Amino acid sequence: MKVTGKWQAALLFTAFWAAQAVSAEETVHHDSWFDEGKLLATGGVSEVEGAGGGGLVPWGLISGYGSSDGIGVDAHGTYIHLPSFTLTTEGAAVGLFDRLELSYAHQSFDTGSAGAKLGLGKGFTFDVDVYGAKLKLAGDAVYDQEGWLPQITAGLQYKTNNQGAVIHAIGGQHQNGTDYYLAATKLFLAERLLLNLTLRETEANQYGILGFGGDKHDGYSTQIESSAAFLFTRKLALGVEYRTKPDNLAFAKEQDAYDFFVAYFLNKNLSLTAAYVDLGDIALQGRQNGAYVSLQAGF
């Protein structure tokens, strides 16, 4: 995986905030900062924009295995292969005292041969940086088993795109934008079932790869994202996700996305996720469905 300057900056960013939070938490002893106190798989995996969750949807869980007395850090690399495009993502996240999550992801969207068809040039690439934060507001997915209150978090993702000229040429209104979301996750331990519902306020086109807002619609809209996962064993999870998306650009209709995933948690330090993903029609190139693979490591 190529380590870019932005990637190095993100690691320094997350490490700095982790250090600040730890120094402020005087009751936490040095040897217990990385206590890995949460149950296996309850940190989720890294979704395509860097937040803790599934492959496409951020969940109400906080990344990492740090308990309310510790912190957790993870890094991930993700590759999505589609008929006309490829998407690679590298990122990192830190979970602070099972309360606050800070994340970063760098996305590289390679248009391949489709770039020539679109007049951009073969292999033309869109790069997007995603800076995220997520705060737990109420509930606990693990310990609130008696009631029906899910774990609820509020989050945001600030996205910057490097292709402003192209975005404006296709009808996009903004090069950068911010998504806001509210996620609720309920874990039924006895049934080995996880359910998640996320409401997102966004104006992103194709997750921000094609900018924000458009000539068809410019402004925020509410999108629904959902996930269901079954813990087949303690280490193996099978699930499905569905994510609606806004349709802002006149030149190409944007469609919803879904995936079927398998996540294997070797231990609390390493997990692998594989999925079949369908992102719908992208930029008039037909239905884009294919393989999703993500490796996550942390402590």
> DSSP string spanning 106-134?
EEEEE-TTHHHHTTS-TT-EEEEEEEEEE
pTM of the model: 0.86
Number of H helices, E strands in the chain: 3, 14
pLDDT (average), residues 29-38 = 71
Rounded to whole angstroms, how far apart are CA atoms 255 and 243?
10
Per DSSP, the residues of 220-273 read -EEEEEEEEEEESSSSEEEEEEEE------SSS----EEEEEEEEEEETTEEEE
Q: What is the pLDDT of residues 70-129, one digit of tens each?
A: 999 999 999 999 999 999 999 999 999 999 999 999 999 999 989 888 888 998 999 999
Q: In this predicted structure, what is the pLDDT of residue 31?
A: 52
Q: What is the 3-state secondary structure (H, E, C) of 26-54?
A: CCCCHHHCCCCCCCCCCCCEECCCCCEEC
Q: In this predicted structure, what is the pLDDT of residue 299?
A: 82
pLDDT at 6 over 80: no
Rounded to whole angstroms, how far apart are CA atoms 200 and 141?
20
Q: In this predicted structure, what is the pLDDT of residue 116?
A: 87
Cβ contact 263:233 at 8 Å: no
81 phi/psi in degrees, rounded to 5: -110, 120
Where are the domains positioned within the chain? 5-298
- Domain 5-298 of CATH type 3.30.70.360: no
pLDDT at 29 over 50: no
Q: Quick check: helix, strand or coil at residue 103?
A: strand
**CB burial of residue 266 (10 Å; 0-12, 13-18, 19+):** exposed
Q: What is the pLDDT of residues 148-186, one digit of tens each?
A: 899 999 999 999 999 999 999 999 999 999 999 999 999
